[in-house]
Structure 1
Amino acid sequence: MTLKSPARRPQWWIVSPCLAVIAQLSLVAQSASVSSETDNSAVVELSEFVVTSDDDVGYAATSSLAGSRLKTDLKDIAAPISVFTKEFLDDIGATSVNAALEYALNTVTEYDVTGNGIVSNNYQTRMRGITGAGRSRNYMSTNLNIDFYNTERLDFSRGPNSVLFGIGSPAGIINSSTKFARLGGNLTTVQMRVGSYSDHRASIDINRSLTDSLAIRANLLWQDSEGYRDFEFQQKKGAALAGTWRPFEKTTIRIEGEVMDIEENRARPWTPFDGVIGWETAGRPGVNTATTWGGTASGTGSAITSGIVFMEDGLWAGQFVNQTGAQNFRWSNGATPNIPGLNTPPNVLDYSVVPRTSNIFGAGARSSSDSRAGGIYLEQKINEDLSFELAYATEYEERPVVAPMNFGSFRLRYDVNAYLPVFDAHGVQTGMQQNPNFGSPVMITNGGFGNNSHAWSSNYREELRATAAYHLDFRAMLDRESLLARVLGHHRLAALITEVGSERTAKNSRYVNIHETRANPNYFNNVNAIRWGNYYDPFAANPTDRGLHDPFGALESVGVQPLAHQPGRFVQASLENSNWTWSRNETLTTMFAMQNYFWEDRVVGLFGWRTDDQDLFDSTPNIEANTGAYRGFTRNGKLRDLTGDTFTRGVVVHVVPNLLSLYYNRANNFQDNGVAEVIGPIGNLTSIGNRSGEGEDMGVKLRFFDGKLSASLGWYETADTNQGSSIDGNFFTWSEGIWDALGTPVDLGGRDTRNLKSEGYEFELTANPTRQITLTFNAKDADTTVDNLFPWAQRYLDDNRAQWSANAGTPVATTTLPAGSTIGSSLAALDQLMAVITAPEGSAPFADRQRTANFFGRYAFDDDAVLPGFAVGFGLQYRGESLIAYRSQTDGAAVYSPDHLMANAMISYSRKLDYNRRLKLQLNIDNLFDLQDPQPVAGGEPTAAQLQTYQDLGLLYHGVVYTVQLPVPRRYSLTATLSF
């Protein structure tokens, strides 16, 4: 299968004239400079398109490309932009973008309450209370999780910014600048790091200037780290190569490429959910007897009701056992029914039952990333006023993810089978045997992606960009001191055309029985599903035995075996694809931006206009007729197109130059919600529509002591309209249960929408007041509100209410509702669910924090001070109260988690070993005060019938039951850096 689509290739006719013009102009530039062939380094032309860390001082950056696509002083940019310099990133000890976000203004890594995003996504970032902030690499979009071994700095643009992106989330975008080769110097940096939880990391950075006009740079990375939680690990191998060539005085070619391989097990940052309260409340009853299989008991449930179980140990070790009807493996249940508004039971926080480090999904829950990225940049400067850049970048990533169980199954459960059947070599039951594992913790999989345990995806992206920059200076044309010259000023103009093609191939798979004697020919019928499991001890001396084992080799090596409890049938386990999709987006962008400088640069205006024309293509899966297996796909023609104009308008007024400035900025954007359908039968083909955003900023900028201290205080409003949103899975389960009861089964799916608006204040300060001190501080106080919640789900209920109400007494069978449920009670449960999930209407969304603040400062001792060569740093991260629930059963009041403060520290020692070698040792301490209190992240108010149970167990917080996130305890890292 060829990854690249023949549907539409990059339009080289757009670029070919640019190449020809640049080639001709470079010859003109060459002939205009007699000395250029003999001494290319005699004049170093400053680039309009490049910002390097050389321009930064301490934690303070002076310029950015994020404002106008051209190198611009931050003081002249009206858009809300922040920069993390290389020196700051080094001091906080961060090694990736996700780690550095903890210090970013109004920006957080989003930990959804399911943990699915933690496992599946390279990143998920919330800026200004809005999800889906994008990432770029050298101002080319990226899906990669960037590591800092090859990173110079980070630029944050909060809110819509049509100069950088038209199609995207209104949250904003984070750009990482890679390390390019530098002319005119040789440098080698070797770095090694060891830290808590077996953290080992090494990197090397080598820059060599081969001639005055040619340089190369290589960066290598190796990392092998375990984590705080069981089974957690991350292994990285990375390599990057960059080159810079200046063949002529005004011509520069830069090239860079990077490969990265990552293997990891990402643990959810919480202990398992409770799956035993119901069973223990019922007195820990046993199921089955010495003569019968198929019993039930209060507080117990079926691990699976239909399919095949393969146990690695216990009485069924190494056998495939058919599960049918009441004869199945049973385990303990938590309290039922579910708590309104809470997808799961509360976490087990008794560390004598499961340790704080527990990760029961075990060794089999893992993911990897194999990525390649790179680009080439040709820059031609015609004269002092006119320059061009032609750039091409590409990126490819393969990402397999294994999730044996879904987030709701991350539960502590016990084997409640007092007796289990035993079978002979032919699968015939020979009797019942007392279960030696009765009451032991047990795991049996159900698939983390629906019923699928494996997900694989590949993402390919290529971007071709041509940019022209021109400086129109009326001061040079007129008498510089004349009134007319001051009025007309000077102007920096940028025009850009970009073509982007991105493709995604994705498939999901699961283990099924493919033997010819299987009960149903369709591989994905429930009777053919293979679920594997094992017993475990969360306190086991052997770490492997603390959770679900990695069964995949065993499943594929056992070969053909009889199916126990169904003699005559056999099992042949195979990992088969149950879904296989391909999609492609092609986007043609034209952009024009101008910065207008008037009245001796006292007034700086910004105008950006952008047109994006996007074509979307999809595919039809090739499904095997008898088995239902997906055997590839067929690319379709264009599904639909999307066109839009977006604008940025801003102004900075330097009321008192280099002291006091006022700014205003307004921008918008839009985004396609993909092929997402509205809530309803799968395949209803009704799109949820496009997402759009609006942003407005105004405020004041301050600069003191010749720029050694800079600060900004601003008000902002960012609106996100028609954001795609997932709904509680019980909505589908209960609705499907009603249709099943009516004898008209329906497979439901789709997404819903909501609107968000964030309004508030942001403050940022960066200072280098003395040679010894550098610091940064930021804070936000903002209100985020959500409205128009889940309109499609409500419409679906309203459309079907009459039919369902007319059959209110019909029994409904679903394990997520109490026994004896009817269509009427199920409809009431759906109405209650809607009341809970729409409770934030007009108020703050769940997990929103009104106030946050971050600080980090460093003091470096002078060479003649008491501690020459030493530096100390200290950081604080304040997180205000977070909304976790509304008391929907009683007074409707909002319930917030408590605020908390996280502290970090750094101490370093730097010493010059000889004339060109320097050694630096740095100790970083994260979570200095060892905050370990569970942090509530989601909650729900129990019904009156449930209340007493949770009161007795001490699991209430301000009247709600809650789930938590557990901070990683204090950890240390020691880094040694040798530079020469």
Structure 2
Amino acid sequence: MNMRKSNLARKRALVAASSLLALAGVSRLHAQAAPAADQTSSQDASGTSGADDQAIVLSPFTVSAQNEGFQAVDTLGGARVKTKLADTPSAISVVTKSFLQDTGITNAQQLLVYTTNTEVAGLNGNYSGVASRGTGVSSNAEAGRLLNPNMANRARGISAMDNTRNYFVSEIPWDSFDIDRVDISRGPNSFLFGVGSPSGIANYSTNQAIFKDKGSVEFRIGGYGSTREALDYNKVLIPRQLALRIDLLNDDTQYRQKPAFNHSERAYAALRYDPKALNTENNQLTINANAEAGRVRSNNPRELPPMDFITGYFAGWGLNKAGYDPFLFAGSQIAGVGAYPNQSPWLNGQDYHYIWPGPGAAYWYDASSGKQLQSMTTLNGNNNNNAILLPQANALYTTGFANYAAAVNRVYPNMFPGAYAGTVTYNNKSLMDPSIFNFYDKLVDGSNKQEWQNWRTFNLTLNDTMFDGRLSFQGVVDHQEFDEGQAGVFGYTEPWISVDMDAYLVKSPTWLGNATVNPNVGRPFLASDFGSGDNSARYVHDNYQLQVNGDLRAEDLFGKGQLSEILGHHSITALVGSYTTKIDSKAWSGYATDAAFGHLMGDPTGKITANRAISWVSYVGPSLINASSASGLNLSNLGSTIMPTSGVIQHFVPTWNATGVDPTAAWTNPSPLVTDHNATQAGNPANYVGWTNVPVNVLNWQNNINDLYTSGNKTEQKLKSAAFMYQGHIWDNTIVPEFGWRRDTLTQRSANAPLDPNTSVASMNYGITGSGDRTVTTSTSYGVAVHLPKSIRGKLPLGTDLSVFYFRGNNETPKVRYAFDTTQLPNEKGKTDDYGVQIDTLNGRATIRLTFYKTIDQNAQVGSGAADPLGNNGYYMYLLPAWGAADAAASGQAIQAWPNALNDWGFTNHPDDSSNTIHNLQVAAVSAWQANFAKYFPQSFFDAYGMGVNVNAITTGDWKNVYNQPNANPITFPWNIANSGSGRVNGSFPIITQDIQSKGFELEATVRPVANWDLTFNVSKTDATQTSLGAQDSAFIQKEYEFFNGPAGNLPLWGFWNGGVDTTTTPYSLPPTSTLRGYFLQNIWSAYQLQLAQTGTMQPDLARWSFKTITNYTFTHGHLKGFSVGGGFRWSSKPILGYGITQITDALGNQTWIMDAQKPLYGTIDKHLDLWVGYERKLTSKIDWKIQLNVTNVGDHPHLAPASLEPDGSWAQVRIVDGASWFLTNTFKF
């Protein structure tokens, strides 16, 4: 270079330095901490197609794809700009393309079982991902995992990592067909992540077009009939200026569970343009664009076997295997349990396989043949047209272990302590005998379940690097659209297999002489309803980001020399950004009858939430009456489609047709359930039309979805962010400090779908109004890496270097969230302190890093919606006051009518003794509601939930207007409440928060002893504990306790005072669990006490120790030249899956059994081996061929692993662990 060029370069450098100093003085910036990764490699960028070898100046916003085997060189994941991994103080693991290719890994589920201190759920996962804190597996535990299996993960034992695409938050699952690398950053980092999880992120960087013609085609076949085809082709259109890359995928994964599958189809394209006219020796302008369209259609396999409600049939305790008359058990249940006094605790009647809470249509099927056996309307006493003619009846069936334990504990307090009170959790057990139902090979749903995903993306990135890399700009426009949904027949429940215990159909009692024998008594069945569970969501992200980086180099100011080496160079990065996310979620009933049928069932408004619902029963095997054991039954799954259709259905028509009979004439009621048998012919069912076929029109979601929507929500989040990052290289790169600052301003608006005032069908034709809620956060992160001085490094053998690190990471996630009391919660805050030491040796071919960490997650979400830590009963916190309002209204009307009957007492029916004990309880309870309700539950509480409760009507005693919608009956029923929010507060599900602390160490090593041998391993130890429960929800629970523990809590939840009254006592009394107080104590207060008792305990299903390793060796000489062999091994220690129990004296002076944090109960060790062998050779001068056989879970058979334990240490719920499988991959590179 001549003197003129040298001076010109110096001037450019000074201009860059001046620009950088000016940049540092900018007072206010708006940006998001989410760098857009332009994943161009320096090696590929220099690849030519007939061009010269002019060097290209890379943008600091890109990383190099150069690596040797499993070892990456640099990352954007710690400091936003390209940084050597050796200079990065935060905990980052980089998964290279070679690693993915050697192992055959294609997705997150397969990868996260091998990466450091990460867990993922699934058949080949290393934890269940569905166990809640102290309450086992929730009723809808698998719903989220089935919809998006890759998202069920956890890092450092805290929570799920964010899935990011080129450092933008994304719902799109990644696949190796179009990605170059995966960067996993553990712990919070305020500069890097916008609304990131304190656990960290898993970022995948998509392929970019390069200036080199090349391509590959992959064909894979695998176990159970799986196939996969992938194409990657890059073409240079204009040498060194324009290139195009196309990636295509067709992946059809089949599973051992039949007919489960997951079929992905994806198309990706990337374009790179380096305009020659604008590029010079010291300036590089690159425009990258990429787009993807994809879809997934699946019926994903289940990780959990069905719940075991069947083996109790053979467990004794006086169970009559021939069945029972269902009419003899109405109204005699042990409240809150469903079992019956003086009967086998395995007998239950909570109407699981009939529609609840009101009458509706029910269909019975044979699972194997698909034949519809019968259909009829259900009869449980809530249809006022029928209740005066036919007594209430409960369908009877065998129950699970949880209800069994509660029923036994009520009679025998020393057995299953704390079960009936609910202070100790006894879980329903999973079915564990595959000879009863082969859950390894059969998907219990059959073809009655489906999930879907669709997406489109577009990304445009402009990088401009000037002054020999001293000043760089990056602008990004990123757009993502993602749709997902699921539909099935099990609704909100986990599947369970039970036994039909109805000796007669629930149509007419035996004492009327026309009872119908149940031909299916004793048959095992699956059952549910179509009332909930089907849902979809649409996410739209629009991201705009501008990023500026300046590199201030001492040598530009002072020339080369010792002073410049000491001062080094300093990188300053700032960005501005605007990020908008729109979410549109919908829920619907899969099937329902039309409004006219609702009218027939006694509801003149035709509400979709009550009498129009459809339930189903499907028998999966023959009668067990003569069987001695459930073993060997080999029960069927749902082998045919459950699809209720229009036609006719059996229904009891209460129309008088007894010509010549005087309705007032005397009639003797033969019922053994009454004491006074003197009645009139008006009460004789024989005088009415009775059971007959009536027309029914069934709506289905495929054709009538607009008439089946039950709820919807639209949410808009607008994030404005500012971020600043400094990174220095001092003393000849010996000291590398960094500092990051960010400010986020989030505005969130939302709206719930309006409900039709008559039918309660949700309309999806609505928008968002109002300014929304606003939250602002500010956070910082900083760290330093210190290496050995060059003078020392130069004297050590094999290029050895010793480095030490410290990193303080913070983030405060801006997100509008609500507690169950509808108040806004503080932001979630993450903080980590990482201390590390790293040894690099073998001339850069070996790196060993040890990190000690302490990560704190404050105000973290414990659960949302149905998945809360209160045994999934958190909804009682807002529904008990709303349901209780109807109880108060009904009782208030009854008091006004006293002592005359009101609607034949109907919902308020009760007997009384001479002292009017029950009536006096009723008066005291209603008076308490009038006096105190508004103080505990203001109108704003119900408005936030979108529930139509009129608080003023309660206060003033305007009992007919307590609910803000037309009533179907003179009495207000709880199940008729308008609930447009479907449990949401201002569009978001309320949550309970907690503080979590995780501490331990992570040891990672990547070694390449020789050029053809790669080895990596990691070891981690994690202690992640809950340190406290959320203050706002705790205060609200205690506030509700004050209300329900007083006279107001004496109202029976479902209004029927007679159903829960114990008439054997004098005066009459109400069993505590039948009242609002009882339900609150059993479902909320006891669960809350359980959570408090677990403060300081480990995160659920957490293995403290983990070891994972992968190695691959390629033969380069001799007879085995071209062959490669490798393997991976992963091991996890026994996780804590439960706790023993102890007895304490609670705050009320009661002796109470609770879980004992000092008595941990452990699961089993998890270990698996994967092996592979490959061969590669040239077919022609331009075509390389590689074939590789991978065998996963070598030597394993499908088996079960515990997911939760009972208090005595026995297995409760279990997860399925897949056995050995294989896949064979042929790859052609050209």
TM-score tier by shorter-chain length is 0.7 to 0.9
> Contact 1:232–1:265 at 8 Å: present in 2 too?
yes
Q: CA deviation at 1:380?
A: 1.5
Task: Tell me whether 1:375 sits opposite 2:466 in the alignment.
Answer: no
Structure 2: how far apart are the matches of 1:191 and 1:394? 29
Q: Find the counterpart in structure 2 of residue 940 from structure 1.
A: 1206
Please state whether the residue corresponding to 1:527 is helix, strand or coil. Answer: coil
Structure 2 residue identity aligned to 1:350: D
Q: Find the counterpart in structure 2 of residue 190 from structure 1.
A: 217
Selected match of 2:746 from 611, 614, 619? 614
Q: CA deviation at 1:806?
A: 4.4
Structure 2: how far apart are the matches of 1:318 and 1:220? 49
Q: CA deviation at 1:148?
A: 1.3
Q: Find the counterpart in structure 2 of residue 313 from structure 1.
A: 365
Q: Find the counterpart in structure 1 of residue 75 from structure 2.
A: 64
Structure 2 residue identity aligned to 1:915: S
Cα displacement string for residues 862-907 of structure 1 (whole angstroms, at most 9, x for unaligned residues): 2x23421111111111111211111125682111112232111111
Please state whether the residue corresponding to 1:528 is helix, strand or coil. Answer: coil
Q: Find the counterpart in structure 1 of residue 810 from structure 2.
A: 668
Structure 2 residue identity aligned to 1:78: P
Selected match of 2:569 from 482, 490, 494? 490
Structure 1: how far apart are the matches of 2:397 and 2:444? 16
Task: Tell me whether 1:440 sits opposite 2:530 in the alignment.
Answer: no
> Contact 1:517–1:569 at 8 Å: present in 2 too?
no
Please state whether the residue corresponding to 1:878 is helix, strand or coil. Answer: strand
Selected match of 1:908 from 1153, 1159, 1174? 1174
The correspondence of residues 290-329 of structure 1 with structure 2, limited to 5 A, is 298=344, 299-301=347-349, 302=351, 303-304=353-354, 305=356, 306-311=358-363, 313=365, 317=373, 319-325=375-381, 326-327=392-393, 329=395
Structure 2: how far apart are the matches of 1:379 and 1:104? 32
Structure 1: how far apart are the matches of 2:1081 and 2:1171? 53
> Contact 2:777–2:814 at 8 Å: present in 1 too?
no
Structure 2: how far apart are the matches of 1:52 and 1:324? 69
Q: Find the counterpart in structure 2 of residue 479 from structure 1.
A: 559
Task: Tell me whether 1:858 sits opposite 2:1112 in the alignment.
Answer: yes
Cα 1:407–1:634 shift into 2, 3 Å: closer
Task: Tell me whether 1:271 sits opposite 2:321 in the alignment.
Answer: no
Cα 1:559–1:929 shift into 2, 3 Å: same
Q: Find the counterpart in structure 2 of residue 697 from structure 1.
A: 834
Task: Tell me whether 1:253 sits opposite 2:305 in the alignment.
Answer: no
Structure 1 residue identity aligned to 2:596: E
Selected match of 1:230 from 235, 250, 258? 258
Q: Find the counterpart in structure 2 of residue 642 from structure 1.
A: 775
Q: CA deviation at 1:418?
A: 2.9
Task: Tell me whether 1:762 sits opposite 2:988 in the alignment.
Answer: no
Q: Find the counterpart in structure 2 of residue 513 from structure 1.
A: 593
Q: Find the counterpart in structure 2 of residue 714 from structure 1.
A: 851
Q: Find the counterpart in structure 2 of residue 414 from structure 1.
A: 499
Structure 2: how far apart are the matches of 1:125 and 1:778? 18
Structure 1: how far apart are the matches of 2:782 and 2:270? 36
Task: Tell me whether 1:833 sits opposite 2:1087 in the alignment.
Answer: yes
Structure 2: how far apart are the matches of 1:486 and 1:706? 23
Cα displacement string for residues 272-312 of structure 1 (whole angstroms, at most 9, x for unaligned residues): 11113444334353445699997987413222343334425
Task: Tell me whether 1:550 sits opposite 2:641 in the alignment.
Answer: yes
Please state whether the residue corresponding to 2:69 is helix, strand or coil. Answer: coil
Cα 1:156–1:730 shift into 2, 3 Å: closer
Selected match of 2:1224 from 954, 959, 974? 974
> Contact 2:744–2:814 at 8 Å: present in 1 too?
no
Structure 1 residue identity aligned to 2:360: I
Gaps of 5+ in 2: 1-28, 32-47, 122-128, 132-140, 332-339, 382-391, 407-418, 623-629, 654-691, 702-707, 794-799, 863-867, 889-973, 985-989, 1063-1070, 1144-1154
Selected match of 1:882 from 1135, 1149, 1154? 1135
Cα displacement string for residues 738-763 of structure 1 (whole angstroms, at most 9, x for unaligned residues): 98689346998842111001111111
Q: Find the counterpart in structure 1 of residue 583 from structure 2.
A: 504
Q: Find the counterpart in structure 2 of residue 426 from structure 1.
A: none
The correspondence of residues 804-819 of structure 1 with structure 2, limited to 5 A, is 804-806=1044-1046
Q: CA deviation at 1:112?
A: 1.4
Cα displacement string for residues 332-383 of structure 1 (whole angstroms, at most 9, x for unaligned residues): 2123245565474111112221114243233222210011112011111222
Selected match of 2:61 from 28, 31, 49? 49
Cα 1:663–1:802 shift into 2, 3 Å: closer
Please state whether the residue corresponding to 1:153 is helix, strand or coil. Answer: strand
Q: Which of the pair is proportionally richer in helix?
A: 2
Structure 2: how far apart are the matches of 1:201 and 1:342? 45
Q: With CA pairs under 8 Å and 6+ residues apart, which has the higher RCO, 1 or 2? A: 2
Q: CA deviation at 1:502?
A: 0.6
> Contact 1:812–1:821 at 8 Å: present in 2 too?
no
Q: CA deviation at 1:68?
A: 1.7
Structure 1: how far apart are the matches of 2:472 and 2:814? 34
Cα displacement string for residues 603-638 of structure 1 (whole angstroms, at most 9, x for unaligned residues): 111111111111111114222221111112231222
Structure 1: how far apart are the matches of 2:631 and 2:1209? 36
Structure 2: how far apart are the matches of 1:408 and 1:781? 35
Structure 2 residue identity aligned to 1:671: T
Structure 1: how far apart are the matches of 2:437 and 2:70? 43
Q: Find the counterpart in structure 2 of residue 168 from structure 1.
A: 196
Cα displacement string for residues 15-69 of structure 1 (whole angstroms, at most 9, x for unaligned residues): 99xxxxxxxxxxxxxxxxxxx9x9787342323222243x121000000111222
Task: Tell me whether 1:332 sits opposite 2:406 in the alignment.
Answer: no
Structure 2: how far apart are the matches of 1:688 and 1:356? 42
Q: Find the counterpart in structure 2 of residue 601 from structure 1.
A: 733
Structure 2 residue identity aligned to 1:646: S
Structure 2: how far apart are the matches of 1:924 and 1:737? 55
Selected match of 1:846 from 1100, 1114, 1118? 1100
Q: CA deviation at 1:501?
A: 0.7
> Contact 1:192–1:975 at 8 Å: present in 2 too?
yes
Q: Find the counterpart in structure 2 of residue 33 from structure 1.
A: none
Please state whether the residue corresponding to 1:91 is helix, strand or coil. Answer: helix
Q: Which of the pair is proportionally richer in strand?
A: 1
Q: CA deviation at 1:203?
A: 0.8
Cα 1:545–1:964 shift into 2, 3 Å: closer
- Tell me the TM-score normalised to structure 2 length: 0.70
Structure 2 residue identity aligned to 1:465: Q
Selected match of 1:894 from 1160, 1163, 1169? 1160
Identify which range, 367-376 or 731-740, moves more after superposition.
731-740
Structure 2: how far apart are the matches of 1:569 and 1:902? 58
Please state whether the residue corresponding to 2:302 is helix, strand or coil. Answer: coil
Percent identical pairs in the alignment equals 23
Selected match of 1:80 from 82, 91, 104? 91
Identify which range, 149-158 or 668-677, moves more after superposition.
668-677
Q: Find the counterpart in structure 2 of residue 23 from structure 1.
A: none
Please state whether the residue corresponding to 1:920 is helix, strand or coil. Answer: strand
Q: Max radius of gyration: which structure? A: 2
Structure 1 residue identity aligned to 2:612: N
Please state whether the residue corresponding to 1:635 is helix, strand or coil. Answer: coil
Cα 1:642–1:805 shift into 2, 3 Å: closer
Q: Find the counterpart in structure 2 of residue 89 from structure 1.
A: 100
Structure 2: how far apart are the matches of 1:818 and 1:60? 72
Please state whether the residue corresponding to 1:914 is helix, strand or coil. Answer: coil
Q: CA deviation at 1:670?
A: 1.5
Identify which range, 819-828 or 794-803, moves more after superposition.
819-828
> Contact 2:361–2:612 at 8 Å: present in 1 too?
no
Q: CA deviation at 1:861?
A: 1.1
Q: Find the counterpart in structure 2 of residue 397 from structure 1.
A: 482
Cα 1:528–1:209 shift into 2, 3 Å: same
Identify which range, 580-589 or 732-741, moves more after superposition.
732-741
Gaps of 5+ in 1: 1-13, 17-35, 424-428, 679-683, 942-957
Structure 2: how far apart are the matches of 1:797 and 1:421? 40
Selected match of 1:771 from 983, 1008, 1011? 1011
Q: Find the counterpart in structure 1 of residue 698 from structure 2.
A: 573
